[in-house]
Structure 1
Amino acid sequence: MTDDAPLLSARGVTKWYGRRLGCRSVGFDLYPGEVVAIVGESGSGKSTLLRLLTRQADLDAGTVSYRMRDGSLRDLAALTDAERAVLRRTDWGFVHQDASFGLRMSVSAGGNIGERLMSAGARHYGDIRAEAGRWLARVEIDEARLDDTPDTFSGGMRQRLQIACSLVTGPRLIFMDEPTGGLDVSVQARILDLLRGLVVDLGLSALIVTHDLGVARLLSHRIMVMKAGEVIESGLTDRVLDDPREPYTQLLVSSILPA
């Protein structure tokens, strides 16, 4: 696959919940090494879109396709359950707002990372433990905490452990849902610096759902602004945030970002 071939392609993605619109006619391409932020107020449809893109919910219309490692572009709806499970274990990573959704809280930090490695085929205990220790250090957690459980960690440490678990299998695409939501400002800054460095160092593609335009500016190359289930403006992040064209985007920027 070349860098000019999309890694993820969405066309006409639409979802209704009865008579309530979740999202309508969303289409975009995500390229290797690119970070795209989906922003909007609560209820704008951004979280619904993320669930549709990751097949956590079924589409009412449209398609979502993914470029497999052999270069083929596959409709996610046509994949078998086993194929989707392999994607989730290896090629995709997830960073949730609440780290407990991505961790087993009563299993050690090393065990959480190790389980992800084992799901991707690793079997040698010594190698798994060593790799878990390396990833703890990489996300700025003392390796001495390898046998401690996440329920003894601070919120920021849990989030960094979740990031390690997501990245240890070498995924190509990371989905992030409000990755710094609910954390103290100083902790948010540390997590954002860590994420930005890892995305660049590993050449990752990422989709970030956030209401925080500061997060979008720091991490993303492109931005999509959602309102009432539709993408109303998109483009390069700095262009959209510095010179928004839609009145809604202008209001969003003026109310959240400092002048």
Structure 2
Amino acid sequence: MNAEQPLLKVSNLSRFYGGRIGCLDVSFDLWPGEVLAIVGESGSGKTTLLNCVSSRLQAQAGRVEYRMRDGRLRALSDMGEAERRFLMRTDWGFVHQNPADGLRMTVSAGANVGERLMAVGARNYGQIRDTAVDWLERVEINTDRVDDPPRAFSGGMRQRLQIARNLVTAPRLVFMDEPTGGLDVSVQARLLDLLRGLVSDLGLAVILVTHDLAVARLLSHRMMVMKDGRVIEAGLTDRVLDDPREPYTQLLVSSILQV
């Protein structure tokens, strides 16, 4: 992968819900290894945008292009449904705010991780189990819990298991929708430290949706601020937070304690 070429190109993306704007005319590039935070209040359009970019929701206008491992830039709209599903199970990851949405709650922790490996052709049970155990350790889950179902885990452990499930196939792009939402402050801090280390170590590109500007500052290189479905400000994260130019961004920043 050429680091001088964008991994993802989003052009003039729009989505409407009847007469209401979900997102309107959004364009950006994402580079290999870059973390882009999309921030804004509830209803600003950030989750709609994330779902359109990740093909979980169909945009009504615009284009999303992804650079495949052979270096070609492919439009998602030109891919068949099976090809998009395979991409989402292998080269992409999606971390949900509610980990139950990204896990199979009735099978073991090890099976949750192993399923993603099987999607890319792994068939040796011993190797799959060993890899699952290794990933549980990497996300700070005791390896003796490998046969326990996620329903026996705490919220923070479920979120770490969901992260392991997503990263086991070595994706290059991971979408995160409020990954620390709903967790206690101490659990959030531990999860953020883990995420920051994994993103850096693995060179992941990430699109992160969050309403928490402290999370955006800690994890992201660049930030887009959304209001009423539109991107109203964008730039390097520290610049946007330390010197916001738009009145709406200034209001967001002033409403939190500086970190």
Q: TM-score, normalised by structure 1?
A: 0.99
In structure 1, what is the equivalent of residue 152 of structure 2? 152
Tell me the distance in 1 between the aligned counterparts of 2:258 and 2:8. 33
Partner of 2:61: 61
Question: How many angstroms apart in 1 are the aligned matches of 2:99 and 2:35?
Answer: 21
Cα displacement (A) at 1:224: 0.1
> How far is the alpha carbon of 1:131 from its aligned partner?
0.3
Separation in structure 2 between the aligned mates of residue 89 and residue 15 of structure 1, nearest angstrom: 24
Q: Which residue does 1:255 correspond to in 2?
A: 255
* SS of equivalent to 1:179: coil
Percent identity, please. 68
What is the RMSD computed on CA atoms of the aligned residues? 0.8
Partner of 2:78: 78
- In structure 1, the residue matched to 2:12 is 12
2:115 equivalent in structure 1 = 115
Tell me how far 1:134 sits from its aligned partner. Answer: 0.2
- Which ranges of structure 2 fall in alignment gaps of 5 or more residues? none
Partner of 1:179: 179
Give the CA deviation at 1:257.
3.3
Matches of 2:76 and 2:257, distance apart in 1: 36
Once residues 56 and 85 of structure 1 are traced to their aligned partners in structure 2, the CA distance between those partners, rounded to angstroms, is 10
SS of 1:190's equivalent in the other structure is helix
The 5-angstrom pairing of residues 1-259 of structure 1 reads 1-258=1-258
Which whole-Å CA distance do the structure 2 matches of 1:11 and 1:179 have between them?
26
Provide the secondary structure at the position in 2 that maps to 1:198. Answer: helix
- Code of the residue aligned with 1:74 in structure 2: it is R
Q: Which moved more, 1:40-49 or 1:55-64?
A: 55-64
Supply the distance in 2 between the matched residues of 1:228 and 1:136 (Cα, whole angstroms). 40
CA deviations on 1:58-114 (whole Å, 9 max, x unpaired) are 111110100000001011011011211111111001111000011011100001011
Structure 1 residue 124: Cα displacement: 0.2
> Secondary structure at 1:256's aligned position in 2?
coil
- DSSP 3-state at the match of 1:36: strand
Distance in 2 between residues matched to 1:153 and 1:238, nearest whole Å: 36
C-alpha deviation, 1:254, in angstroms: 0.4
- Take 2:56 and 2:149, find their aligned partners in 1: how far apart are those partners? 28
State how far apart, in whole Å, the 2-side matches of 1:81 and 1:117 are: 20
Q: Which runs of 5+ in 1 are unaligned?
A: none
The code of the aligned residue for 1:32 comes to P
